[in-house]
């Protein structure tokens, strides 16, 4: 019964989404406030009904209702509770339902927090959001119904793919989707602005918090997924330039560019057309990612690729929304007024360069991901575009970007003073060079690691020195500095902290070049070198978990003869799916990690193992957390807080809130 209620709620949600599209849109055209007012309640109730449907599916998973195909395929009565909940999105149908849930949540959020927005803009934005919701709800109901039943239920389910049975995977998809789909808000805003034909700084003020919100969620989601891959996949890789990963990286880069150009638009009324374009692009890339992942064009070994219905449907959605938005853009962009002017050497100029480099990176990732598909379709020739390609072409773009980031921060709006900005960065530059020299002396080659680490340290110090120098400027006492620090706008803190976070991540990435690997058949009792530590097996035993059995090794990590930590890498076997999965043993020592994974056992008692020492590796993810925290600081800025931007104030005194 509950399952049917969920199914029915989903159909009602589709009806509401269609109303949410049609009525406010008509209202905006007819200038009828009563029709426009329909947008908010329908958006909120559409979300409620999708949430009800989602709740029903979750219920079916939790109680192991094996009359549902979705539950049979992805659950098992013995599966731990948390994975019964996360298993809901651990499959195609459920994850599409999560996608729609987040999409309708975004609509509800706009409805709730948009009191300050002009009525027409809100009505049009919610109408676009409704149309998006309707398209995806239709997709679920027609091609991917999670509520499909079977006549004769089996006694037991097939269990969730073991590799997904991990706490990391319980958090990663919802965060990722908040980011991915969060960009739909800015997309709807951009489409609404183009439909209404009015684009000004106030628009940027409404759009920016939502961009930040989506960007923060996407940053955390990507970091979470990458850390999950790192400790789950058994040899410590964390980014593989896999098309699926690229699918999330593309909107992230576009979103990063959008954050910066929206800042220019809000402050200076410049880059308006470009900002609108990026708003469309960020979500279009999310849609493209969904298409690539869901349609099966990339993962052709997967059986659902042979079901072209889904792929064609998503392609239709993709073409309709991206094509529609771009057509609207082409139609209206020419008539948009040119914005504020600025000298090439200025904050605006620096942000233009930032956008240029980010767009080039984004284009590279898009082309690198799609090129093999296009080439095979056109010529039948198969090529591989793998990590060596992406590393080769992106590093020359990323390093200059890192060098320019602090400089941009130091330049004033309108017209900046480059020598003065460079002078303020002298200390940061010196610290960077010293750090590169010190790390180079300590860890040696590769040269790229040394250069990148230097750039990273310069980025961290440079990012923070803007804040420090502003606080210390002509300050008489420590107390004055402290007062000044507290008085600085939170968004200024946000910029500095995020840039420093980027530096931390870069340092972590640079240090991967200094990692030590030891692949060895380990005999219990013998100790093996991994960087500054020694690892030895104390015990190898079997053990049973709730829905798996495993062989685990207790390894002692020694430093100078003392055991400082124990780790337990394991090899798990999941009965229901007859699948193996390794569980790495990881211990964090300082900022680095000792990482071990075990493989086949030999008759003489030895066991194949991969041992790693990864200096500074945790910085990769700590940096992402710091970046997201910086984004959160900006979001908390009173000036940017959702709903604070009052229309009247913005119109009368564009700079009053500064």
Partner 1 sequence: MKWKPPSLSLSRFAGEGTLTISMVDEGLNLLALPRKRRRAGVGVVMVTAMALISSAHAVTPGEMLPDPAMEARARAITSELRCLVCQNQSVDDSDAALAKDLRVLVREKLKDGMSDAEVKDYVHSRYGDFVLLRPPLKLDTILLWTAPFLALLAGASAVWSASRRRRAAPVESTELTAQERARLAALGLPERQPRDSAE
Q: Which residues contact 304 (CB under 8 A, 6 or more apart)?
A: 92, 296, 310
Q: For residue 182, give Cα distances in angstroms to 71, 264, 632.
A: 28, 21, 15
Please report how close the Cβ of residue 347 comes to partner 1 at its closest, in angstroms: 7
Q: Which is nearer to partner 1, 122 or 310 (CB)?
A: 310
Please report how close the Cβ of residue 598 comes to partner 1 at its closest, in angstroms: 6
Reduce the DSSP state of residue 614 to 3 states and report it.
strand
Reduce the DSSP state of residue 549 to 3 states and report it.
strand
The answer to whether 611 and 482 are in contact (CB under 8 A) is: no
* Residue entry with tokens 């073409």: 319
Q: Which is nearer to partner 1, 148 or 437 (CB)?
A: 148
Distance between alpha carbon 119 and the CA centroid of its chain, in Å? Answer: 31
Which tokens belong to 590? 């300082």
Q: Which is nearer to partner 1, 40 or 294 (CB)?
A: 294
Please report how close the Cβ of residue 650 comes to partner 1 at its closest, in angstroms: 16
The answer to whether 585 and 569 are in contact (CB under 8 A) is: yes
Please report how close the Cβ of residue 506 comes to partner 1 at its closest, in angstroms: 18
Which tokens belong to 451? 């250069």
Please report how close the Cβ of residue 600 comes to partner 1 at its closest, in angstroms: 6
Q: Which is nearer to partner 1, 396 or 479 (CB)?
A: 396
Please report how close the Cβ of residue 613 comes to partner 1 at its closest, in angstroms: 16
The answer to whether 103 and 133 are in contact (CB under 8 A) is: yes
Q: Which is nearer to partner 1, 51 or 397 (CB)?
A: 397
Please report how close the Cβ of residue 45 comes to partner 1 at its closest, in angstroms: 28
Determine the angle formed by the axes of helices 272-295 and 308-333, rounding to 10 degrees: 170
Q: Which is nearer to partner 1, 186 or 247 (CB)?
A: 247
Q: Which is nearer to partner 1, 24 or 406 (CB)?
A: 406
Please report how close the Cβ of residue 519 comes to partner 1 at its closest, in angstroms: 6
* Residue entry with tokens 């840039």: 499
Residue 588: what are its φ and ψ, rounded to 5°? -90, 125
Please report how close the Cβ of residue 91 comes to partner 1 at its closest, in angstroms: 6
Q: Which is nearer to partner 1, 120 or 424 (CB)?
A: 424
- Bridge partners of 556? 536, 566
Count the Cβ atoms, other than its own, within 10 Å of residue 4: 11
Q: What is the DSSP string of 372-418?
A: HHHHHHHH-------HHHHHHHHHHHHHHHHHHHHHHHHSPSSS--H
Please report how close the Cβ of residue 296 comes to partner 1 at its closest, in angstroms: 9
Strands (E) in 115-245, as ranges, are none
Please report how close the Cβ of residue 373 comes to partner 1 at its closest, in angstroms: 12
Which tokens belong to 91? 């499959």
Which residues in 132-145 are b (16+ Cβ under 10 Å) and which e?
A: bbbbbbebbbebbb
Q: Which residues contact 154 (CB under 8 A, 6 or more apart)?
A: 66, 72
The answer to whether 431 and 457 are in contact (CB under 8 A) is: yes
Q: Smallest Cα–Cα separation from 126: which of 116, 114, 137, 135?
A: 114
């Amino acid at each position: 019964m509950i399952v049917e209620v969920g199914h029915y709620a989903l159909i009602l949600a589709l009806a509401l989404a269609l109303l949410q599209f049609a009525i406010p849109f008509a209202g905006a055209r007819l200038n009828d406030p009563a029709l426009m007012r329909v947008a908010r309640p329908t958006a909120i109730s559409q979300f409620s009904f999708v949430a009800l449907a989602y709740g029903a599916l979750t219920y079916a998973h939790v109680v192991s209702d094996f009359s549902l195909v979705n539950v049979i395929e992805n659950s098992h009565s013995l599966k731990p509770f948390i994975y019964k909940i996360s298993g809901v999105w651990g499959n195609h149908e459920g994850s599409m339902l999560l996608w729609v849930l987040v999409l309708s949540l975004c609509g509800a959020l706009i409805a709730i927090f948009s009191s300050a927005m002009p009525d027409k803009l809100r009505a049009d934005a919610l109408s676009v959001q409704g149309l998006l919701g309707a398209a995806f709800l239709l997709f679920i109901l027609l091609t991917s119904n999670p509520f499909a039943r079977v006549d004769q239920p089996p006694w037991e389910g097939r269990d969730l793919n073991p590799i997904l049975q991990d706490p990391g995977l319980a958090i990663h998809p919802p965060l990722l989707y908040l980011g991915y789909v969060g960009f739909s808000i800015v997309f709807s805003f951009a489409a609404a602005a183009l439909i209404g034909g009015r684009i000004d700084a106030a628009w940027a003020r409404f759009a920016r918090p939502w961009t930040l919100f989506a960007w923060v969620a996407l940053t955390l989601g990507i970091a979470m997924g990458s850390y999950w891959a790192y400790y789950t996949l058994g040899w410590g890789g964390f980014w593989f330039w896999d098309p699926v990963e690229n699918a999330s990286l593309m909107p992230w880069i576009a979103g990063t560019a959008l954050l910066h150009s929206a800042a220019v638009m809000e402050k200076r009324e410049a880059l308006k057309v470009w900002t609108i374009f990026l708003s469309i692009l960020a979500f279009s890339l999310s849609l493209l990612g969904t298409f690539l992942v869901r349609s099966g064009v990339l993962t052709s070994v997967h059986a659902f690729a042979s079901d072209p219905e889904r792929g064609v449907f998503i392609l239709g959605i993709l073409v309709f929304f991206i094509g529609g938005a771009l057509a609207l853009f082409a139609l209206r962009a020419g008539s948009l007024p040119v914005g504020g002017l600025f000298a090439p050497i200025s904050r605006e100029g620096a942000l233009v360069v930032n956008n240029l480099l980010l767009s080039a990176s984004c284009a590279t990732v898009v082309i690198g991901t799609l090129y093999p598909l296009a080439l095979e379709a056109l010529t039948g020739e198969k090529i591989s575009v793998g990590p060596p390609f992406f590393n080769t072409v992106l590093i020359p773009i990323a390093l200059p970007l890192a060098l320019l980031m602090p400089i941009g921060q130091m330049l004033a709006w309108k017209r900046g003073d480059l020598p003065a900005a460079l002078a303020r960065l002298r200390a940061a530059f010196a610290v960077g060079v010293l750090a590169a020299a010190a790390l180079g002396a300590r860890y040696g080659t590769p040269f790229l690691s040394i250069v990148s680490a230097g750039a990273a340290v310069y980025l961290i110090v440079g990012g923070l020195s803007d804040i420090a120098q502003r606080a210390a400027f002509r300050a008489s006492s420590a107390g004055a500095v402290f007062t000044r620090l507290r008085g600085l706008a939170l968004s200024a803190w946000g910029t500095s902290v995020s840039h420093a976070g980027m530096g931390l991540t870069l340092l972590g990435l640079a240090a991967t070049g200094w990692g030590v690997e030891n692949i060895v058949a380990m005999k219990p009792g013998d100790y093996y070198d991994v960087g500054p530590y020694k690892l030895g097996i104390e015990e190898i035993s079997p053990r049973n978990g709730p829905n798996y059995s495993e062989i685990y090794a207790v390894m002692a990590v020694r430093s100078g003869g003392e055991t400082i930590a124990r780790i337990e890498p394991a090899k798990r076997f999941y009965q229901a799916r007859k699948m193996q999965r390794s569980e790495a043993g990881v211990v964090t020592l300082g900022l680095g990690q000792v990482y071990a994974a075990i493989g086949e056992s030999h008759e003489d008692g030895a066991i194949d193992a991969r041992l790693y020492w990864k200096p500074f590796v945790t910085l990769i993810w700590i940096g992402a957390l710091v970046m997201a925290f910086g984004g959160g600081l900006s979001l908390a800025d009173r000036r940017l807080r959702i709903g604070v931007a009052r229309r009247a104030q913005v119109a009368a005194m564009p700079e009053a809130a500064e």
